[in-house]
Amino acid sequence: MNELQGSRNVIEIIGVPLDLGQQRRGVDMGPSALRAAGLESKLEALGYTVIDRGNVPVTVAETTHRGNDRARFLKEIAECAEHTADAVQQALARKAIPIVLGGDHSIAAGTVAGVAHHFRALNQAVGLIWIDAHSDINTPETSPSGNVHGMPVAALLGMEPAALSQLLGWSPKVLPRHTVLIGIRDVDEIERETIRRAGITVYTMRDIDELGLRAVMEQAIDIAEKDTAGYHVSMDMDWVDPKEAPGVGTPVPGGATYREAHLAMEIIADRGGLLSFELVEVNPILDERNRTAELAVQLLCSAFGKKII
């Protein structure tokens, strides 16, 4: 049994095939691509009992109206977030580790709400490690696109949109001092100001270049663990360089290398403290022979204790 497992050797997989938070179709097939890449069997080979809970219900874009262009499909995304939060809470109540498969990154509003709500009942806060090329801290007022997948961090910190920040009847789900963004390299100008005002910790790709990934991950975990029950990891596959992970909706050059991505996950496994994990934005339509999903599964295995030797 590896360091991460301890007494929590059950993993529950929860699929959230939502693509309403952005405008490039195909990310709704991400959970299927990750399953097809052998996620369950590979985690079982590490000694876990793995239970796949299937997918939460989502609305299909063609069956509804997109609503306000400042936050497209916000009502439907909030409904999906409630289902996701409920599934995550049930997994945690069963002492399992939830792995949530997206879908676009707007699903994090529900995932983190579920984790935070579970530990709030125990009078404990949770930390958030957000691994992404983007900061996702826009609001409907500041977003240049109206895509809700660029808003979940803002919602989790208690900003707009209220339909997401007020999920489960309280806000904020995480505090700035427990929140760390890693791998950032594509930030809107207004987001920069929001980040400064919020007081969250951000490690850009320049910081990784200058400090080294080990130092960044060690510092990030220290921040996310301090005065919390542990931390949730929300990882967008676009944090990895597009040469390694082409199947994402918003690729940005200059991302993590193959080995850097694995090292980040290996440090998470070594340190422990992981409460739940979320992997998003795998788009099979844009991928090459499921290459991005296969890398994503490899990274999840590293985060859950797979070692070279």
Q: What is the 3-state secondary structure (H, E, C) of the chain?
A: CCCCCCCCCEEEEEEECCCCCCCCCCHHHHHHHHHHCCHHHHHHCCCCEEEEEEECCCCCHHHCCCCCCCCCCHHHHHHHHHHHHHHHHHHHHCCCEEEEEECCHHHHHHHHHHHHHHHHCCCCCCEEEEECCECCCCCCCCCCCCCHHHCHHHHHCCCCCHHHHCHHHCCCCCCHHHEEEEEECECCHHHHHHHHHHCCEEEEHHHHHHHCHHHHHHHHHHHHHCCCCCEEEEEEHHHECCCCCCCCCCCCCCCECHHHHHHHHHHHHHHCCEEEEEEECCCHHHCCCCHHHHHHHHHHHHHCCCCCC
State the residue range of the domain holding 299.
10-303
Q: How far apart are alpha carbons 221 and 128 in whole angstroms?
A: 9
> CB of 292 within 8 A of CB of 245?
yes
Q: How far apart are alpha carbons 140 and 160 in whole angstroms?
A: 7
Residue for token pair 């963004």 = 181
> In this structure, is residue 147 part of a structural domain?
yes
> In this structure, is residue 159 part of a structural domain?
yes
Residue for token pair 């990882």 = 235
pLDDT, averaged in runs of 10, over the chain (309 residues):
57 98 95 98 98 97 91 98 98 98 98 98 98 98 97 98 98 98 96 96 98 98 98 98 97 98 98 98 97 98 96
> In this structure, is residue 280 part of a structural domain?
yes
Total residue length of the chain: 309
pLDDT of residue 5: 43
**Looking only at Cα atoms, what is the longest distance across the chain?**
52
Q: Which residues contact 93 (CB under 8 A, 6 or more apart)?
A: 118
Per-residue tokens: 77: 């995304």
CA angle 5, 293, 96 (to 5 degrees): 25
Burial (CB count within 10 angstroms: exposed 0-12, middle 13-18, buried 19+), residue 79: middle
* Cα 104 versus chain centre, distance: 9
> In this structure, is residue 69 part of a structural domain?
yes
Dihedral sign, CA of 142, 284, 62, 16? negative
Count of domains for the chain: 1
> In this structure, is residue 3 part of a structural domain?
no
> CB of 75 within 8 A of CB of 101?
no
Q: The domain spanning residue 135 has which CATH number? A: 3.40.800.10
Q: Is the model's pTM score more than 0.95?
A: yes
> In this structure, is residue 2 part of a structural domain?
no
* Residues with a known catalytic role: 105, 132, 134, 136, 149, 236, 238, 281
> In this structure, is residue 5 part of a structural domain?
no
Q: How far apart are alpha carbons 275 and 250 in whole angstroms?
A: 27
> In this structure, is residue 308 part of a structural domain?
no
pLDDT of residue 8: 77
